Amino acid sequence: MADQDRFARALLAVARGLGRIARERARAGDVTPQQAETLQLIAERGALSTSTLATLLGIDPSTASRNLSGLERAGLIARQKGSDDGRQTDVRLTPRGRRAAQSVGNGATSAFASLLDRVPRGERARVIDALELLVKVLDQTG
Amino acid sequence: MADQDRFARALLAVARGLGRIARERARAGDVTPQQAETLQLIAERGALSTSTLATLLGIDPSTASRNLSGLERAGLIARQKGSDDGRQTDVRLTPRGRRAAQSVGNGATSAFASLLDRVPRGERARVIDALELLVKVLDQTG
DNA sequence: GGAGGCCCCTGTACTCTACAAGTCTTGCTC
DNA sequence: GAGCAAGACTTGTAGAGTACAGGGGCCTCC
């Protein structure tokens, strides 16, 4: 099979598997998958504008706005009119939001740890390196 | 950073990037992401029951049933009462469904090909091997 | 100071999802 | 064979996430 086909099949299967795990975790946890995603992104990048967030997540700005409304209602983020540019909205985590992001991160780490355990010890470094390279490539495309 | 953390972060980022690409493709194409997913799974595995499909996708059987209803309405799959077990439903692709699955597969391959192009030539085999290993691990968990 | 453009939010409609409850089928027990 | 528990599927209901269209506020450049 050509490399392109193997690559595409593998990526589709990975997406499927990761989606499945995300749904399992969502059923168990207290925040929705998209909320978790958004929280973690803000935690990583610090303050963001709505449109920047939308771009990073690959969603429509209107969708990002609505998602943020939910997080704001839950008291996990705070929105404030941008200080330099009044059109923008600065999004920041509240203390509760920071704790939630932390908890989400820990949950993800432990959920994925059992996966890593199944990777033969000698292969782990290679798998992680490959994934990080893939992330870099994915970010370039976005 | 510990391997577990690197692994978790990378997987989350990969999931995010793949989700973004899936949404871009959905906006362009004629079938929804979940329909594409379902079609491809049936194309890979042949005839399936509703609950098997649900398990493979990691979704609730009721959700799988509803998704199949949409595909049936679109004339892409056919449902038939199971011959051995009357409780089950055998799901098969129609000729149109087979063509649609093919087209979805080609679309995915070409969408991902540009990603693979950005991976340095010498790394490609390693990345693909790592992904295939990851798929195996993900399937074990499910 | 006006015009056009950008950022954000809201209205609307659709997909995907899960949980609960109901129907039909099977298989087991008596 | 009758009854009954368990399984597979579907439908009722509710909620999250998504995109496109449109409107209001703010910035920039002329």
Q: Are A25 and B141 in contact (CB under 8 A)?
A: no
Query: What does the pLDDT look like over A36-62, one tens digit per residue?
Result: 999 999 999 999 999 999 999 999 999
Distance from CA of A129 to the nearest CA of B (A): 9
| Residues 63-122, chain B, CB closer than 7 Å to nucleic strand C | 63, 66-67, 70, 85-87
For an interface test with A, give the residue of B106, B116, B136 to mutate (most A CBs within 10 A). Answer: B116
Query: What does the pLDDT look like over A83-105, one tens digit per residue?
Result: 889 999 999 999 999 999 999 99
What mean pLDDT is predicted for residues B32-56? Answer: 94
**Structure confidence at residue A142 as a pLDDT band (50, 70, 90):** low
Q: Convert A2-65 into a string of H (helix), E (strand) and C (coil).
A: CHHHHHHHHHHHHHHHHHHHHHHHHHHCCCCHHHHHHHHHHHHHCCEEHHHHHHHHCCCHHHHH
Q: Are A50 and A68 in contact (CB under 8 A)?
A: yes
Q: For chain B, what's the residue count?
A: 142
> In the structure encoding, which two tokens stand for residue A79, read together?
């929105």
| Angle, CA of A42, A132 and B138, to the nearest 5° | 95
Distances (CA, A) of B140 to A17, A131, A132, B6: 10, 19, 23, 21
**Structure confidence at residue A24 as a pLDDT band (50, 70, 90):** confident
**Structure confidence at residue A2 as a pLDDT band (50, 70, 90):** confident
For an interface test with A, give the residue of B40, B134, B136 to mutate (most A CBs within 10 A). Answer: B134
The predicted pLDDT at position A27 comes to 80
